[in-house]
Amino acid sequence: MKNKLLIFSAVLVFSLGACTSDYEDLNSNKDNFTNKELEQDFNNVKAPIRGMQRWMYILVEDDWRGDIQFNLNADIFSGYMGTPHNFEGNNNNSTYVLLDGWNNAAWENAYRREMVNALTVKRLVESKGPKYYAWSLILKVYAMHKITDYHGPIVYSAFGSEAATVPYDSQKAVYDQFFTELKTAVDILTPFATANKESTFFVDKNDATDGTTAKGIVLKWIKFANSLRLRLAMRISNVDPIKAKAEAEAAIAGFGTIDTNADNIFYLADHPVNTYTNQWADINVGGAIASIMNGYNDPRREQYFNKSVIGTYQGIRMGTVVDDDYRTAKANQFSKIGNVVSSGQIPWFTATESHFLKAEGALKGWNMGGTPQSFYESGITTSFIQNGAGGATTYINNDVLLPADFTDPLNAVNNIVAQNLVTIKWSDAVSNEVKLQKIQTQKWLAIFPDGQEAWAETRRTGYPKLFLPTNNFSSGKIPAGTFVRRLNFPVQEKTSNPVGYAQGVQELGGVDTGATRLWWDTGVNQF
């Protein structure tokens, strides 16, 4: 694995330069398809649409880089997972040494696959086939919100420019464009779904272009766009509460959001984490999620985790220093990720997340169509049903159990007392801050294993309270006692797009390290 990472770093330097250095070559072919081809049910337009879906995650059968696209950064930072390996002599993301060779992967994939395909669709069918253009907008926003939430300012509105310098947009500007694009997509698609709720992008619902459970049904993609709009509205709620409220309330209007498990959006493929945790043994259950779920005696553990050799759900703490003895013992002592990553489905958006977003929105006084408690409890119930777990009512009404202390079976240095000391049962008597902690804790549990979204939300709200890494080897770049807030900009941007990079740092409003907060990451929750 280490050798693969070194090779990847070299390939990036010599073959990519940076995403901005070869925009012209990637995007200049505006005439991939003839008008005659476009008239044939837009068959050739389906290729870039299919590509946008397929490359949301770098799948194992295509490329090993998915391990560093999200698994060895966001999945660990979110508290979901931990690595039992001593990559780079224990100087890696887990110990807050942010590795450029790892953390460039998501950026590179997003621009060379998602943005290029989105631009191809725009040039082909924006005026001739707006339905497909709308579809590409939804996919583009879904892909790129992960990138801006990793790094902050990004190249977005100027992508495809033939200028020598490609400017960055501020994160605020990027989010404004996200909201505009999602609204545009829904406005284009709504007449089709209004006329026929079974309307599809294709003649055949089983068209292989749509590799998701949405099966090309326009109404399902409208609900996905609205759900994504609600997610992004909540993301900016602490920095721009007025706009956040307006966008959230608009998102639940019309056809609304994904509210039932029947409308969940999964990409139909084996989750790459299945390989990382089993075949490669690169990843195990994180200490934070094991602490919380063990303390709550959460029935979903059977779906989320496999038991360790001694019959327990055992996590590994972020920042653990791994020596040879530790590595030898780790295979049996720590739990691997369970059936949730071996079902042939990669979650994109589920109903349980919509319920928890509405619970927080209602807590903020937004018109979500229900109370914080009603959405909180329905969010838990929906998650239990999704994961085939029983006992939701008993779980919801438990006001005694608390997260468990964490104990490392191999090294007591990693032991730590429980941090997220909040019970499950809803109470109107507690403060809004505690209510938010309850909502976010249960949401965090429900959206597993989506570490990218979980990391973003723990940064935004501070909940659930996670374990700091046992070891922080960042040499002060991420101060002791603090959590990583972002990934550095790709190192290639400094050399191949230096003016754009400098502008990006200026828009960031701080130094280009993992300690600088993003625009929406204010550190203060708004109610």
- The candidate with the shortest Cα–Cα distance to 107, out of 160, 143, 158, 61, is 143
Span 127-184, pLDDT tens digits: 677 899 999 999 999 999 999 999 999 999 999 888 878 899 999 999 999 999 999 9
Give the residue numbers spanning the domain of 440.
2-508
- Find how far residue 281's CA is from the centre of its chain: 22
The domain tally of the chain equals 1
For 59-73, 251-265, 416-430, 471-485, which range has the lowest pLDDT when averaged over its residues? 59-73
Rounded (5°) CA angle 245-251-256: 140
pLDDT at residue 8 greater than cutoff 60? no
Task: Judge whether 77 lies within some domain.
Answer: yes
Host H or E run for residue 266 = strand 265-267
Mean pLDDT, all residues of the chain: 90
Do residues 46 and 32 touch, judged by C-beta distance below 8 A? no
Q: What is the per-residue pLDDT for 27?
A: 34
Q: At 408, which CATH number?
A: 1.25.40.390
Mean pLDDT over 337-360 rounds to: 97
Task: Judge whether 527 lies within some domain.
Answer: no
Report the share of the chain in percent with pLDDT over 90: 81
Q: What is the per-residue pLDDT for 19?
A: 40
For 44, phi and psi rounded to 5 degrees?
-75, -20
527/384 Cα distance (integer angstroms): 28
Q: What is the per-residue pLDDT for 40?
A: 58
Q: What is the per-residue pLDDT for 320?
A: 96
Q: How confident is the model at residue 35 (pLDDT cuts 50, 70, 90)?
A: low
Q: What is the per-residue pLDDT for 65?
A: 83
- Find how far residue 401's CA is from the centre of its chain: 29
Secondary structure (H, E, C), 269-331:
CCCHHHHHHHHCCCCEEEHHHHHHHHHHCCCCHHHHECCCCCCCCCCECCCCCCCHHHHHHHH
Do residues 357 and 231 touch, judged by C-beta distance below 8 A? yes
463/445 Cα distance (integer angstroms): 11
For 212, phi and psi rounded to 5 degrees?
-115, 175
Query: Using the 8-state DSSP alphabet, how is residue 80 labeled?
Result: S
pLDDT at residue 516 greater than cutoff 80? yes
Span 350-408, pLDDT tens digits: 999 999 999 999 999 999 999 999 999 999 999 999 999 999 999 999 999 999 999 99
- Residue appearing with tokens 């050799």: 309
pLDDT at residue 22 greater than cutoff 90? no
Mean pLDDT over 96-118 rounds to: 94
* Residue 8 token pair: 């990847």
Beta-bridge mates of residue 347: 266
Q: How confident is the model at residue 101 (pLDDT cuts 50, 70, 90)?
A: confident
- Residue appearing with tokens 């100027």: 158
Q: What is the per-residue pLDDT for 300?
A: 98
Span 425-465, pLDDT tens digits: 999 999 999 999 999 999 999 999 999 999 999 999 999 99
Task: Judge whether 518 lies within some domain.
Answer: no
Task: Judge whether 526 lies within some domain.
Answer: no
93/318 Cα distance (integer angstroms): 9
pLDDT at residue 42 greater than cutoff 70? no
Q: How confident is the model at residue 66 (pLDDT cuts 50, 70, 90)?
A: confident
Task: Judge whether 515 lies within some domain.
Answer: no
Mean pLDDT over 274-289 rounds to: 95
193/255 Cα distance (integer angstroms): 9
Q: What is the per-residue pLDDT for 31?
A: 38
pLDDT at residue 18 greater than cutoff 70? no
Span 495-513, pLDDT tens digits: 889 999 999 999 999 999 9
pLDDT at residue 50 greater than cutoff 70? yes
Task: Judge whether 391 lies within some domain.
Answer: yes
Q: What is the per-residue pLDDT for 163?
A: 81
More confident residue, 34 or 185: 185
Task: Judge whether 525 lies within some domain.
Answer: no
The amino acid present at 29, given as its one-letter code, is N
Do residues 1 and 474 touch, judged by C-beta distance below 8 A? no
Task: Judge whether 464 lies within some domain.
Answer: yes
